Structure 1
């Protein structure tokens, strides 16, 4: 089944069913619902897809659905399950009959399940559930996920056979160190066992105490490796809820350096349970190499930051990695993106806000097309400047609306969790003017071309040149620089002096009358008249075009020689 909502032929799943059933089933990706498809310690490892019946024909069940997925972190404590939400939003978990297969000529990882309803499907990575039956004669069980954990139910624990479940959540040593760093009251906790979750029926209570064995890492330099701690419900380091009405019991063994108040232990256990579901992430913004307005906003787990940046570079996204400080996010939480200053993104943000959902085992990228708000803004900078503001949206503030997880209307945004600067290069705009307009510009109509200056240099004597320098009021440094550039040629010296004087004048200053006035003051009125006459001939040649243009005859050193030596 391909995505029916798009023109692309991206394969979402494979369905095995009678032919008349497959003709009336449609499939589309609804990844906007991914936030609401995970809970607890679940992690999304596939696309979220919806299967619907487009006709009134009754579907023949069961049908077999194979959903491709990719799990980056496969541990003994986790398993892949398919979560199904039917049309009445009832939730069910289906254990795949297989997790590998060959479909469409390609062998890969597929969650193959037999289902009896249509709705929303997703493959999740969950803590492995081990289901077992406790008979009246008792049970001694070593869990398959971790054989070091042993549950011993003595005979007579229950009056009737009971079905129970167990799940194991490992605790990373780095996580324990960070918790001890943030809480001074927890420094006496040396090591912990994995978290053990036990599910018993609500209607039946155990008649005899349960004995369990949990592995707890040894105390450094004093205990032997592999030594285990055995505890019962009465052990002070086994934390259990105060009420027995809860279906699930939370259990953990703590190795202490010294005595700790029970309230601190309970607080530590609750914070530990939340921390194992929280991830440290960094947010980066990179630009596409050939299109700076196309950027990608990526949320990368801190432990995979270098690998994530390498993947961005491989996809032609580069630039200075504008990176946020580490923030804490849970699976399925959203980031709302807003823009300030002179940069925004294309599209109507009022009706379609930009959101990015974080999933630990998925690619968390949001591609954006940026544009400037005011093309005349940031005039003193070669770039348009703006800021991306990111707000963290808790999962309990997301509601199901059609095929999207939207923010509750009652939720008020707090302070942004991070701010990232944005820049856009300014494009050079070419202004089109009529051809005749250039003859109206005073700086072009009265410009002194190099040919006229070269002719004038050949007509001036050394005495004339000295008097002209004084009349033009040039700096002594300009005259000295001209002498250094052409020590053996008076004409080149005068040419350098006149070009320096021409460049120093404002563009709209009438240069020809000013130079002719100076020539008259030094006693060379005939040169002033000839200069204006030749300049008029140059202007007439420019207006007549290339066919009627007449060259100006000048005397003195060739112009290419002057430019070459300049």
Structure 2
């Protein structure tokens, strides 16, 4: 069946390409109202549980909206009492009135909307995958699945995934698909901007991709309101919504053209007449360069200190077989040197002051003048360089023969007479050799396509064995930590140091030491992965468990380490269909590590009545009683002062806090028990503890402790009564 589905996908690509050439105006759709008592007689029945009809609501023009949850086989179980209303697949004007007058006995083409749902692990209710509108005979046999594990193979460097990866296929090989169909995919995009656009990416079985422009973004799909990317498609396959660089297409006639880009009006290209011997279609993309990226590169490498600013990175496509008959003038924005602007402001301020006050010549003034002259000489060496990427050489080159001039208001202009796949202008404060310029643009390209990220591993406060692992962009780390704390997750450990990741790269991790984890509560010791997408935050909920319950015997915690490894997209492409094994990472250097602890559980031993232990030492029982009484009486400030006087190590204090993070009384009690345990048997514990209480400002408790000790007075606390029960 899969082989026939592949044939169906491949055969439909030709129809998709032909369809994409047509320009259609998508206006309001009219519909015809059919008899509500008519239903399909040829829909096969299915066993109970094959399909769940979650709900139905009426759309505009009485279109039926059904939410379907696919489990093993997708078939339709029609209830005898269910009534459905359909719309005509080929509506015409006044079709609603014609349907009332002309009721046909047979319905050839019917349009229906199906909300296809897919169940995700850990969620009680299934998630809406997409909405498909098309002929009912087609929609009924479509199967939709979420395949987010393949997202690394779908996205490219300049793209950002903003939706689930969904697969739409026909599970009945004998059914003929009637194209086109409308597919609406829910998505969430946090960052847009003038340079980016939302597109639907369609990938076939050979991982060849094409892009569809959505015909609508916001509104209702069925009874659900939200943000949807709706496209009209003539093929099935893998669909995803991506945020990609906006593409601008225009035709350069033989008479010439002066074109300003809509995404940034400061960028313009002027093609003189007869630049090309025949009309040429041009496609441009503009990648903005954040000043912070340049600052990061300058901080990492001293050799790039001369770089002041850059223009946006311009990507251009046109037939390279068409030679340039004339040079093309290009204008790009390239911010000026801010130090030069400050110097100009200072000069103007000095001129204004000299017009008011008499200038006094001194040695200090002469030194200032000489420094100003030196600065002026340095500014004279400021230069502009143009770098281009040539397809034939497949590398970046410095175009020394191209003169880049400074225009008004931070603009630069130059002329090119050859085909460059990409180009960028760089402003330098002083001379820089071409080798380092090429290295800089390579590093800048890598930084543009990368994002700084952190890994968070937090645990539930009330369930220390329940953890959550997130891979988040560094710029959103503060908000993600706050959100996790609101959900009841806290550290330690703290988040990792930030590191660079590209879109679609993966972080694999495993646990070593005396702790391992499971995502289903049954299988432990596996390796796990998080796929990085800058606008989607992968999240894993795991359960920790000790490997050896008798390990770490000298510690109140089991100890382990989470080790993280980075997997590039190139490595993922080679082994994407292979299962993850811990041994696969032995040859790699870890990206980072996080130390973990798991509290030990107190073992309850059920003994017969005849073998139960009976405490015969009344002194120990009295001390246990008095220490817990003190723990209840001391406040947090009193405990802090007392801990300064008690001969206890700092590591012991940290261990006590970790053992009972939310119970102050238990912390103080554990602290006093540690102190008493380290004393020799012959020590006068009451006298020593009374002295420490007086030093911490609680003389009243010191006297009461002495009285209780001398009179052997027990105070029945709640914890003792619970223990007795």
The residue that corresponds to 2:588 in the other structure is 414
Which residue, 18, 22, 37 being the options, matches 2:154? 37
Match of 2:129, SS state, is: coil
Indicate conservation of the 8 Å contact 1:36/1:405, yes or no.
no
2:499 to 298, 304, 327: 327
Partner of 1:251: 423
* CA-CA distance at 1:245 after TM superposition: 7.3
Give the superposition deviation at 1:412. 6.8
SS in 2 for 1:75: coil
Which residue in the other structure is 1:381 paired with?
A: 555
* Equivalent position of 1:317 in the other structure: 489
Q: Distance in 2 between matches of 1:135 and 1:81?
A: 29
Q: CA deviation at 1:271?
A: 1.3
Aligned twin of 1:109: 227
Aligned residues: 452
Deviation at 1:173, TM superposition (A): 1.0
Contact 2:466 2:542 in 1 (8 A): yes
In the alignment, is residue 160 of structure 1 matched against residue 271 of structure 2?
no
Once the two structures are TM-superposed, the CA of residue 106 in structure 1 deviates from its matched residue by 3.2
Does 2:416 align with 1:266?
A: no
**Who is 2:186 aligned against?**
68
Any conservation in 1 of the 2:557–2:600 contact (CA below 8 Å)?
yes
Which residue matches 2:21?
Answer: none
Deviation at 1:187, TM superposition (A): 1.3
Mapped to 2, the partners of 1:190 and 1:402 lie a distance apart of 42
Q: 2: distance between equivalents of 1:201 and 1:405?
A: 43
Q: Which residue number in structure 2 is paired with residue 303 of structure 1?
A: 475
Deviations 1:201-253 (A, max 9, x none): 233232222111001111225459xxxxxxxxxx9711113455778612111
Q: Where does 1:200-349 land on structure 2 (aligned, <5 Å)?
A: 200-222=318-340, 237-244=385-392, 249-346=421-518, 348=523
C-alpha distance in 2 between matches for 1:237 and 1:94 = 37
Seen in structure 2, the aligned counterparts of structure 1 residues 385 and 137 have a Cα distance that, compared at 3 Å, is same
- State the distance in 2 between where 1:563 and 1:95 align: 83
Cα distance, 1:410 vs structure 2: 9.0
Aligned-partner Cα distance in 2 for 1:88–1:210: 39
TM-score for both structures, normalised by structure 1: 0.73
**2:391–2:420: 8 Å Cα contact kept in structure 1?**
no
Where does residue 504 of structure 1 map in the other structure? none
CA distance in structure 2 between the partners assigned to 1:15 and 1:405 by the alignment: 33
Are the aligned partners of 2:390 and 2:420 in contact in 1 as well (CA < 8 Å)?
Answer: no
What pairs with 1:393-408 in structure 2 (closer than 5 Å)?
393-399=567-573
Distance 1:411 1:319, change over 3 A: closer
CA drift of 1:480 comes to 9.9
Q: How much does 1:86 deviate? A: 1.7
Contact kept, 8 Å, 1:284 with 1:323, in 2: the verdict is yes
Match of 2:530 among 345, 356, 359: 356
**Counterpart residue number, 1:47:** 164
1:126 alignment partner, SS class: strand
Q: Distance in 2 between matches of 1:156 and 1:359?
A: 45
1:100 alignment counterpart: 218
Tell me, in whole angstroms, the C-alpha distance in 1 between the residues paired with 2:119 and 2:687: 80
Task: State how 1:523-538 maps to structure 2 within 5 Å.
Answer: none
SS at match of 2:437: helix
Contact 2:120 2:127 in 1 (8 A): no
Distance in 2 (alpha carbons) for counterparts of 1:195 and 1:278: 15
When residues 435 and 117 of structure 1 are mapped into structure 2, their CA distance, relative to the original with a 3 A threshold, is same
Question: Which one of the candidate residues 205, 229, 243 is aligned to 1:125?
Answer: 243
Contact 1:399 1:405 in 2 (8 A): no
Unaligned runs of 5+ in 2: 1-115, 343-382, 395-418, 620-680, 689-705, 717-725
Tell me the secondary structure at the aligned position of residue 444 of structure 2: helix
Which residue in the other structure is 1:25 paired with?
142
Measure the CA separation in 1 of the matches of 2:304 and 2:482.
Answer: 38
Tell me the SS of whatever aligns to 1:117.
coil
Please list the CA deviations of residues 476-510 of structure 1 after superposition, one character each: whole Å capped at 9, or x if unmatched: 969999xxxxxxxxxxxxxx9xx99xxxxxxxxxx
Contact 2:316 2:420 (C-alpha < 8 Å) held by counterparts: yes
SS in 1 for 2:293: helix
Per mean C-alpha deviation after superposition, the further-off stretch among 256-265 and 139-148 is 256-265
Residues 123 and 477 of structure 1: CA distance in aligned 2, closer, same or farther (over 3 Å): closer
1:58 is paired with a residue whose SS is coil
Q: Does 1:11 align with 2:159?
A: no
State the alpha-carbon separation in 2 of the partners of residues 185 and 35 from structure 1.
34
Q: Are the counterparts in 1 of residues 527 and 580 from structure 2 also a CA contact under 8 Å?
A: no
CA pair 448-37 structure 1, distance change in 2 beyond 3 A? closer
Deviation per residue, 1:391-418 (Å, 9 max, x gap): 00011001377888979x9987411010
Aligned residue runs from structure 1 range 396-475, under 5 A: 396-399=570-573, 413-438=587-612, 447=616
The offset of 1:74, in angstroms, is 1.5
- Work out the CA distance in 1 between the residues paired with 2:575 and 2:207: 12
2:541 to 329, 349, 367: 367
From 195, 199, 205, give the equivalent of 2:313.
195
User: Counterparts of 1:26 and 1:271 in 2: how far apart (Å)?
Assistant: 44
Between the aligned partners of 1:402 and 1:272, the Cα distance in structure 2 is 29
Gap change, CA 1:325 and 1:178, over 3 Å in 2: same
In terms of mean alpha carbon deviation, does 313-322 or 11-20 score higher?
313-322
SS in structure 1 of the partner of residue 184 of structure 2: strand
Q: Find the residue that maps to 1:70 and give its secondary structure.
A: coil
Q: 3-state SS of the aligned residue for 1:264?
A: helix
CA change 1:479–1:91 in 2 (3 A) is closer
Superposition deviation, residue 108 in structure 1: 1.9
